[in-house]
Structure 1
Amino acid sequence: MVSVKRLQPYYIKADSDYVRVVLAYQYFAVLIEDQVYQFVPLEAKEIRINRRTQRIENTEARFAFQKGKDVRYITMTKLISLPDFLVQIHALTKAYYIQPRIEHKNDSQNESVAMIISELEYLNLKRLIDKALDEENKEDFDALVKLL
């Protein structure tokens, strides 16, 4: 069984598309069969996360962990399957994520509300015209027809 013992980035770098969590010696450790293995940068050295989708992109990466002379490799796919890894990595990088613009949602909602109100006003105007016809009120009828 594998679990994360320690996950602390050497540094975090963000560009327009990705957050890169760069790892170094003694900053990342895992428990494998109750033994602590330290990260060694033999293959993959970073975790690349999409700033918009908040998904880890480099799932093909392999990380090396060493205890004495024993080196074990763990794929990013395996690390992603560990809940404690995901919780820690997202806690470290959440400040770098690009939040979706809420204004767009509000704008579309405002447009929908405006359309509904406009439709209700139109239907109310038609009802008032029908009422003016029923009451044979020519003045109200002429004024309401002009509003159409």
Structure 2
Amino acid sequence: MVTVKMLKPYYVKTEDKYVRIILAYQYFSVMINKKVYQFIPVEANEIRINRKTKMVENTDAVFAFQNGKDVVNVPMSKLISIPDFLKQLHSIAESYYHSDASLSKTDQEKATHLFIHELERDNIKRLIDMALDARDENMFHSLAKLL
């Protein structure tokens, strides 16, 4: 059985879509059959988490751990099945996740512009209804052109 003894990032790198937790020798260790194995960066050396979904993206990564001359490869898919690993991982990456409130300024401007555009279209439709009720053909045609 694999348990996480220690998980500390060497450093954390953020990108638009991902939080990348970079691992190094003395910062990550696991217990396998009551023996402590230290992480060695032979194959994978990072954990990539999607900032929106908070899910680990590189589930195909394989991490190598060493105890003396004994080297054990543990796939990410096995690590993410350990609740303690996920808890520690999310506590490290938590401050880097996107929140709904932290939309970028351009995203907020786009959403506002879209909302105003929808309101304007709804208003034109109401004015068209009023022109039809009043049987004002000229007003109807001029408003219809705006749609």
TM normalised by structure 1 equals: 0.68
SS in 1 for 2:26: coil
Q: Distance in 2 between matches of 1:19 and 1:32?
A: 27
Residue aligned with 2:100, SS: coil
Cα deviations by residue, 1:49-70 (Å, 9 ceiling, x for unpaired)? 0000000000000000000000
Tell me the SS of whatever aligns to 2:87: helix
C-alpha distance in structure 2 between counterparts of 1:102 and 1:40, whole Å: 36
Q: What is the distance in 1 between the residues matched to 2:48 and 2:102? A: 26
Counting only pairs closer than 5 Å after superposition, residues 15-30 of structure 1 correspond to structure 2 as 15-30=15-30
Shift of 1:101: 3.7
**1:102 shift after superposition:** 8.8
Answer yes or no: is 1:88 the counterpart of 2:88: yes
| Separation (CA, whole Å) in 1 of partners of 2:102 and 2:43 | 40
Mapped partners of 1:102, 1:13: distance in 2: 19
Alignment match, 1:14 = 14
Deviations 1:64-90 (A, max 9, x none): 000000000000000000000000000
Distance 1:87 1:80 in 2: 10
Alpha-carbon distance change, 102 to 6 in structure 1, aligned in 2, over 3 angstroms: closer
Task: Please give the alpha-carbon distance, in whole angstroms, between the structure 1 residues aligned to 2:101 and 2:14.
Answer: 19
**Residue type of the alignment partner of 2:45:** K
Q: Which moved more, 1:94-103 or 1:42-51?
A: 94-103
Q: Letter of the 1:39 partner, please give it.
A: F
SS in structure 1 at match of 2:30: strand
Give the aligned length.
106
Alpha-carbon distance between aligned partners in 2 of 1:53 and 1:63, rounded to the nearest angstrom: 23
Question: Is residue 5 of structure 1 aligned with residue 5 of structure 2?
Answer: yes
Unaligned runs of 5+ in 2: 109-147
Q: Residues 90-122 of structure 1, C-alpha deviation per residue, up to 9 Å, x if partnerless?
A: 000000000124999xxxxxxxxxxxxxxxxxx
**2:45 corresponds to:** 45
Identity within the alignment, %: 57
d(CA) in 2 for partners of 1:66, 1:100: 41
Query: Unmatched 5+ residue regions in structure 1?
Result: 105-148
Aligned residue for 1:26, secondary structure, equals helix
Match of 1:33 in 2: 33
Cα separation, 2, equivalents of 1:53 and 1:102: 14
* Partner secondary structure for residue 93 of structure 2: helix
Higher Cα radius of gyration = 1
Report the RMSD for the aligned CA atoms in angstroms: 1.9
Extract structure 1 runs of 4+ deviating beyond 2 A. 101-104
